């Protein structure tokens, strides 16, 4: 009996990595999240880190990031980038606030429209802005960075044109919706009054997550997005509708940004041009930490969820440990760096195996 063995003993691990290139980054994020959470539990377990409330607050406090990451995942998988998400979200909070208010500020008069119309208008504006940016990027060949940067300036500018100061939202239906919670007793806490709150924003996000998972894994559009991100030339030569898909991606992301703004308004109950400054970078960092490659072609909607949760957990460390907020930013920077390095190593191993 001749037993044949693989001559390269170490080939087992490398082959495993090469076969599962696409899922390793996202899986690694999940592992990282669990590790960080355990560390947090060890350090701060006695001050409430290991409660259901703490865990679910990762969702409830970050609904806008979660919803926006759904759209941004599509953009990044297609190889593009969208810097306008924070601005469009702020714009939709502004449209909801100003559209609904009867009067605000010393001399501004609101439109006094019914809330449902305002929300619909906010979403429509997000869709239109996304569509315009998609046209600039696809038809006029403008670099996505510049086109979405212009979109960001434009949307912020519109916010400030509507009002420099913040505008409160007082509509009873809207505030009731924002205050609505599913509450249940926190089983992991010793406090008899501890409750876990789940707000409507979480459910909006779950719906969007399911839509994007179905979109990316079970429809033609999703396959086209992965194809464009992988190699646009090849996709075009294969006859895939590159133009239409790209315009769809940016339009969808515009919708997600506007929806994120609605979710944010449901927590803040105000419209303000200065809301969500820098949100685009948090979302991009979350999507990248979640396993999507910036060069495109690789990524999972679920991965971005883990990315947002990881960012959230790091911020919790700063809160629980009373560290200077400077440290939170540095830590996120370091984490982003380690993540990309890991992604590069995984890709390099995969490429070497392909050549061997």
Partner 1 sequence: MKILKKIVSSSMFSPLLALFLILLFNLVIQPNFLSVEIRDGRLVGNLIAILNRSVPVMLLAIGMTLVIATGGTDLSVGSVLAVASAVSISLIRGGDVNPTADTAMPLIWVVLITMLVGIALGLWNGFLVAKIGMPPVVATLILMVAGRGLTQNITRERSLTTGHLPFGEIANGFTWGIPNQCWIALAVFLLFWYFSRRTAFGLFVESVGANRSAANHAGIRAAVIIVVVYALSGLCASIAGILSASNVRVIEPMNTGQNMELDAIVAVVLGGTSMRGGKFNLGGSCIGAIILMALTQTMYFYGVPVEFALSIKAVVIVIVVIVQSPVTHKFIRREASAQ
- Under the rule (CB under 8 A), what is the footprint of partner 1? 81, 136, 139-143, 145-147, 149-154, 156-158, 160-161, 164, 281, 284-285, 288, 294-295, 324-330, 332-334, 336-337, 340-341, 344
Specify the residue, 201 or 273, whose C-beta has the smaller distance to partner 1. Answer: 273
Task: Tell the smallest beta-carbon distance from residue 114 to partner 1 (Å).
Answer: 26
Minimum CB separation from partner 1 for residue 323, in Å? Answer: 11
3-state secondary structure 33-74: HHHHHHHHHHHHHHHCCCCHHHHHHHHHCCHHHHHHHHHHHH
For β-strands 108-109 and 103-104, DSSP reports them as antiparallel
Which H or E run includes 184?
Answer: strand 181-185
Are the C-beta atoms of residues 72 and 253 closer than 8 Å to each other? yes
Q: How far is the CB of 113 from partner 1 (least distance, A)?
A: 22
Q: How far is the CB of 185 from partner 1 (least distance, A)?
A: 38
Q: CB 156 → partner 1: shortest distance, Å?
A: 5
Rounded Cα gap, residues 125 and 142, in angstroms: 21
**HSE value, Cβ hemisphere, 13 Å, CA-based, for 142:** 17
* Closest separation in Å from C-beta 237 to partner 1: 20
Contact partners, residue 281, CB within 8 Å, separation at least 6 = none
Write phi, then psi, for 50 (nearest 5 degrees). Answer: -95, 55
Nearer to partner 1, 273 or 301 (CB): 273
- Conformation bin of residue 342: beta by default, left when phi > 0, alpha when psi is -120 to 50: alpha
End-to-end CA distance of the chain: 29
Nearer to partner 1, 189 or 331 (CB): 331
The residue (of 205 and 339) whose beta carbon lies closer to partner 1 is: 339
Nearer to partner 1, 206 or 323 (CB): 323
Residue 108 has φ and ψ, to the nearest 5°, of -85, 140
Distances (CA, A) of 130 to 63, 65, 68, 251, 259: 20, 18, 13, 4, 13
Nearer to partner 1, 18 or 328 (CB): 328
- Which C-beta is closer to partner 1: that of 48 or that of 230? 230
Nearer to partner 1, 174 or 272 (CB): 272
For residue 10, the tally of other CB atoms under 10 A from its CB is 8
CB of 118 to partner 1, least distance (A): 20
CB of residue 326 to partner 1, shortest distance in Å: 4
CA 256 – CA 68 distance, rounded (Å): 5
């Amino acid at each position: 009996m001749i037993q044949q063995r693989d001559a390269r003993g170490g080939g087992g691990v490398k082959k495993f990595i090469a076969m599962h290139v696409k899922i390793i980054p996202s899986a690694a994020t999940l592992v990282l999240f669990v590790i960080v959470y355990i560390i947090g539990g060890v350090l701060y377990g006695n001050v409430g880190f290991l409660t259901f409330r703490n865990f679910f607050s990762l969702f409830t406090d970050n609904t806008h990031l979660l919803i926006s990451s759904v759209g941004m995942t599509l953009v990044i998988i297609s190889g593009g980038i969208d810097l306008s998400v924070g601005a469009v979200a702020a714009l939709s909070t502004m449209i909801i606030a100003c559209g609904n208010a009867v009067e605000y500020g010393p001399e501004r008069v609101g439109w006094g429209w019914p809330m449902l119309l305002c929300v619909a208008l906010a979403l429509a504006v997000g869709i239109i802005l996304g569509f315009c940016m998609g046209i600039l990027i696809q038809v006029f060949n403008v670099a996505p960075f510049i086109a979405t940067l212009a979109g960001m300036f434009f949307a912020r500018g519109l916010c400030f044109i509507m009002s420099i100061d913040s505008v409160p939202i007082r509509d009873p239906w809207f505030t009731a919706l924002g205050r609505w919670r599913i509450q249940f007793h926190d089983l992991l806490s010793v406090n008899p009054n501890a409750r876990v709150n789940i707000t409507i924003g979480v459910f909006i996000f779950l719906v969007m997550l399911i839509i994007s998972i179905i979109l990316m894994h079970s429809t033609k559009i999703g396959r086209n997005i992965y194809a464009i991100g992988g190699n646009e030339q090849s996709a075009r030569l294969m006859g895939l509708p590159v133009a239409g898909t790209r315009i769809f991606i940016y339009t969808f992301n515009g919708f997600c940004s506007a929806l994120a703004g609605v979710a944010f308004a449901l927590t803040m109950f105000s419209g303000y041009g200065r809301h969500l400054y820098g949100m685009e970078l948090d979302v991009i960092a979350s999507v990248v930490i979640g396993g999507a490659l910036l060069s495109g072609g690789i990524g999972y909607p679920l991965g971005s969820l883990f990315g947002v949760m990881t960012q959230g957990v790091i911020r919790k460390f700063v809160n629980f440990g009373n560290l200077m907020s400077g440290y939170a930013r540095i830590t996120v920077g370091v984490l982003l760096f380690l993540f990309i390095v890991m992604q590069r190593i995984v890709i390099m191993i995969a490429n070497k195996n392909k050549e061997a």
